[in-house]
Amino acid sequence: MRSGVRTGVDNVQSILDALNTLTDKDVLVGIPEAKDEREGEGEGEFGNAGIGFINENGSPAQNIPPRPHLKPGVQAAETEFIPHLRAAALKALEGNAEGAVTSLDRAGLVAANGVKRYITITGFTPLADSTIANRRRRGRTGNKPLIDTGEYRRSITHIVRDKDADT
C-alpha cells in the first residue's frame, strides 16, 4: 500500500544560483583585444578591431563606404543561435549553471560563424579600382570587400564574460 507521500529534492538554491550566473553573463561577438593584432604589426598599430569598425561604419575621409557586417551577420544567424539561448535558460532552470554557460558559449560560436558567413556571401559595395590595383601590386587576386588575406574574418570570434568585466 502506498502512503501518498512523495519526497523530492529541494534544489531551489541551485536554480537561483544558475539563474544569477546566466543573467550576469554577456555574449559578445566581434574582435576581442587578444585577436586585434595583425600579422607583422607591433603593439599600438591599427588592428583588426579598427578595420572592423571602419568597414562597419565607413570612413568618408578615406573614401571607404560603410559595409555593415557585424550586426547584420549576427541578425542573419539569429534562428541558429536562439535555440542555444533557450537551452541556456532551461539549464539554468534545472540548476545547471555550467550547462547554461556552455549553451551561451555555443550561441556565441554560432553567431560569430554567422558573421563570417555573412561576410563571405554578401554583395557589399564593390571595392574601388585603386583598392583592387593596390591588391594586385601586393600579389593579391581577390576583389571581394572585407576579404583580402582572410585575417580579419578569422579574427571574428565570441566571448562569454561577466557583464561588469572591463575586457
Domain-embedded: residue 167: no
At residue 160, the 3 state secondary structure works out as strand
Domain count, the chain: 1
> Tell me, what's the pLDDT at 165?
74
Domain-embedded: residue 94: yes
Domain-embedded: residue 52: yes
Query: Can you give the pTM of this predicted structure?
Result: 0.83
Domain-embedded: residue 143: yes
Domain-embedded: residue 19: yes
Domain-embedded: residue 149: yes
Q: Is 32 exposed, middle or buried, given 0-12, 13-18 or 19+ CB atoms closer than 10 A?
A: middle
Closest CA relative to residue 148, chosen from 136, 158, 160: 136
Provide block-wise average pLDDT over 10 residues at a time, the chain (167 residues): 62 81 90 75 72 93 94 97 94 90 97 97 93 92 90 94 79
